[in-house]
């Protein structure tokens, strides 16, 4: 790759002059500037961002730590965070922790060694308290507030309420909620059940609660447990799931049991990722404003990097998107 | 964040001694080593990878350029590349070009400025010839070979052949292939149709070819065109699509038209991403060995970084995965 020296030789100027031109320092004749530009073009010279970073406190990279990349929800989160990070001049260093605490710890420290400007963390597992002394702004995405961090979440309680009201309004009287948990971790997503339960109690409708226990964070298939639950409670006529990926599997199980959706049983998912509009029937779901949440996370991180005061918690609204499954 | 100086002060040693310990240079007493380790732990000191990179020709980052992050195929590609890159000690800088040539050019140059060790590029658009002089190894993923690059692809022709044989063996006599194209770009994925056509001609089965023209790379929804095609050729009893995302939409259109799948019409997709097993009915598809392709891409890039001779083209086999749609 061409170096600063090559550019100097090609343009017939001193290295220090070329450096001044590149950094816009001091008086430079139009002619010198032109010959440097020509040399840069001819040699396809690329200034060294690593060297530039040495003179700054940090790089303009953001560390993005997710527990899973392929999962439709995180794929969408990554997509939007990458987009808005680039808009603000940041590059994204991507880390997949696969939900393992020791990996999350290792990746946060690795981010520090790479002198990232900030970290966005989408995994629920690790406590962030110990990392304050690194002095790197950390923004949590759909996780509870940890001391010294800012978090972005959607209104999970409202989401559960909207789902319950939708199913009850459409005539369902025997409801079921299917959520997934990982060990004993507290996740904001658990609030979806809380909102769902509130409405069921208010409106006097019975409901069953099924927890899918994930053996690992990136487990995705639960057909067996779903099948068992529907067989155990055959009167069920409305199911609310904690994600569209689970809702898609409810549809599969129903087809296997020859239960008509939405005729005999109605299904509401959560997230509104691509998958929800690609299944047959397509899935009625709670739209999580992932794009707006991503934009907000990057903006708050950017402000924290500039040492502005930022909100420690930002909650965005959700809404019901009706499709064929209800 | 704690600096080298802080570690020196804490351990009561000279900065140069601490530096020698960290870099394992020269004789160091066990006691000095211990006191530095204690200081590092106490201060949570993170060595500066940016400064370290200055002494090397490049960083240990890989630039990964994709045209789309949310698309189920690319989400899976990113997942595995991140995994195998980390295994080999690389970090992944993620770029989404959204299929725009000017962005692809900009991102390759940006990778150069960040002194990445190498680049993996999954977009079909840009010609890579002009980038040879950057002296950075570039590995193409499911794209045609460009001068000076190595590419990894799956056996797309075999995939098309397997799909045609599967549909014909199951009794289909009026076949249709649905593929997607972007402008006039040549993509290896187009070979899927070539293999499909070969078998149809060999076995004397008629087939129609439908092209979905994407207005932009990340367009995903095509229900209208699919509906029109199935209405225009109502005798169609077997459809092969270039991706599972398209196959999922064929299922939706069929449900709308009350065409039973697989009873009246059978569907074979391509890729074998998560989506294929989450639809109802689940999708028979051509399994692209994305994990093995990702591992291979990272390994070849790693070898190219070490200036070994690497194959310019590596083609991995595909196989048919039968599910409910046939």
Q: What is the pLDDT of residues A126-145, one digit of tens each?
A: 777 778 778 899 999 988 77
Q: B150 Cβ partners below 8 Å, 6+ apart?
A: B137, B138, B139, B140, B300, B301, B304, B310, B311, B312, B313, B314
Average pLDDT over residues A182-189: 69
CB–CB of B78 and A82 under 8 A?
no
pLDDT, mean of each 10-residue run, chain B (326 residues) = 86 87 81 88 81 74 90 91 94 88 87 90 79 86 81 94 97 95 71 95 95 71 91 97 94 94 96 91 96 96 91 92 96
Sheet harboring B319-321: ordered strands across? Answer: B206-213, B174-181, B238-241, B266-271, B284-287, B319-321
Q: Which two tokens stand for residue B263?
A: 């009873």
Which residues 160-189 in chain A show a CB within 8 A of chain B?
none
A232 pLDDT tier (thresholds 50, 70, 90): very high
Residue A44 near chain B (CB below 8 Å): yes
Higher pLDDT, B169 or A47: B169
**pTM for the structure as a whole:** 0.86
Sheet harboring A284-287: ordered strands across? Answer: A206-213, A174-181, A238-241, A266-271, A284-287, A319-321
Is residue A274 over pLDDT 80? Answer: yes
CB–CB of B278 and A53 under 8 A?
no
Q: What is the pLDDT of residues A50-106, one digit of tens each?
A: 777 766 777 889 999 998 888 889 999 999 999 999 999 999 999 998 878 888 888
- 3-state class of A61 per DSSP? strand
Is residue A215 over pLDDT 70? Answer: no
Measured between CB atoms, which of A44, A95, A113 is closest to B48?
A113
Which residues 269-298 in chain B show a CB within 8 A of chain A?
273-275, 277-282
- Cβ-Cβ contacts under 8 Å, B49 against chain A: 113-115
Higher pLDDT, B136 or A163: A163
A294 pLDDT tier (thresholds 50, 70, 90): very high
* Residue in chain B nearest A86 by alpha carbon: B95
Which residues 72-101 in chain B show a CB within 8 A of chain A?
72, 75-76, 78-79, 82-83, 86, 91-96
What ipTM was predicted for this assembly?
0.81
Q: Which two tokens stand for residue B119?
A: 């680049």
Residue B30: burial class (beta carbons within 10 Å; 0-12, 13-18, 19+): exposed
Higher pLDDT, A157 or A147: A157
Residue A105 near chain B (CB below 8 Å): no
For residues A45 and A18, give the distance between their C-alpha atoms in angstroms, rounded to a whole number.
12
- Cβ-Cβ contacts under 8 Å, A109 against chain B: 46
For residues A261 and A251, give the distance between their C-alpha atoms in angstroms, rounded to a whole number.
7
Measured between CB atoms, which of A134, A251, A275 is closest to B46?
A134
What percent of chain A has pLDDT above 70?
A: 96
Residue B47 near chain A (CB below 8 Å): yes
Q: A284 Cβ partners below 8 Å, 6+ apart?
A: A166, A266, A267, A268, A269, A320, A321, A322, A323, A324, A325, A326
Q: Looking at residue B218, what is its pLDDT?
A: 60
Sheet harboring B150-154: ordered strands across? Answer: A313-316, A150-154, A138-141, A118-121, A61-66, A91-96, B91-96, B61-66, B118-121, B138-141, B150-154, B313-316
- Cβ-Cβ contacts under 8 Å, B281 against chain A: 255
Q: Mutate which of B40, B42, B43, B46 to test chain A, going by most A C-beta atoms within 10 A?
A: B46
Q: Looking at residue A168, what is its pLDDT?
A: 97
- 3-state class of B207 per DSSP? strand
């Amino acid at each position: 790759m061409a170096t600063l020296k090559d550019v100097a030789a090609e343009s017939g100027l001193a290295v220090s002059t070329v450096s001044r031109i590149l950094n816009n320092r001091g008086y430079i004749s139009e002619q010198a500037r032109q010959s440097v530009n020509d040399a840069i073009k001819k040699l396809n010279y690329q200034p060294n961002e690593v060297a530039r970073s040495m003179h700054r406190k940090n790089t303009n990279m953001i560390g993005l730590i997710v527990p899973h990349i392929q999962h439709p929800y995180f794929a969408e989160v990554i997509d939007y965070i990458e987009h808005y990070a680039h808009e603000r001049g940041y590059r994204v260093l991507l880390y997949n922790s696969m939900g393992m605490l020791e990996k999350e710890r290792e990746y946060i420290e690795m981010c520090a060694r790479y002198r990232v400007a900030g970290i966005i963390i989408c995994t629920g597992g690790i406590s962030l308290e110990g990392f304050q002394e690194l002095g790197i702004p950390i923004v949590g995405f759909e996780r509870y507030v940890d001391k010294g961090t800012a978090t972005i979440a959607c209104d999970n309680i409202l989401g559960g309420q909207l789902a319950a009201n939708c199913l009850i309004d459409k005539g369902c009287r025997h409801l079921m909620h299917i959520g997934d948990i990982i060990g004993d971790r507290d996740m904001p997503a658990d609030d979806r059940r809380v909102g769902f339960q509130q409405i069921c109690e208010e409106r006097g409708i019975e409901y069953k609660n099924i927890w899918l226990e994930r053996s690992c964070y990136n487990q995705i298939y639960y057909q067996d447990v779903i099948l068992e639950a529907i067989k155990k409670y055959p009167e069920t006529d409305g199911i609310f799931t904690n994600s569209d990926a689970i809702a898609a599997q409810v549809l599969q199980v129903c087809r296997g049991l020859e239960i008509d959706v939405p005729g005999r049983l109605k299904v509401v998912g959560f997230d509104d990722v691509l998958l929800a509009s690609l299944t047959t029937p397509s899935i009625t779901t709670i739209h999580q404003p992932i794009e707006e949440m991503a934009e907000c996370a990057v903006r708050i991180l950017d402000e924290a990097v500039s040492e502005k005061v930022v909100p420690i918690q930002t909650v965005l609204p959700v809404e019901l998107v009706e499709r064929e499954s209800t």
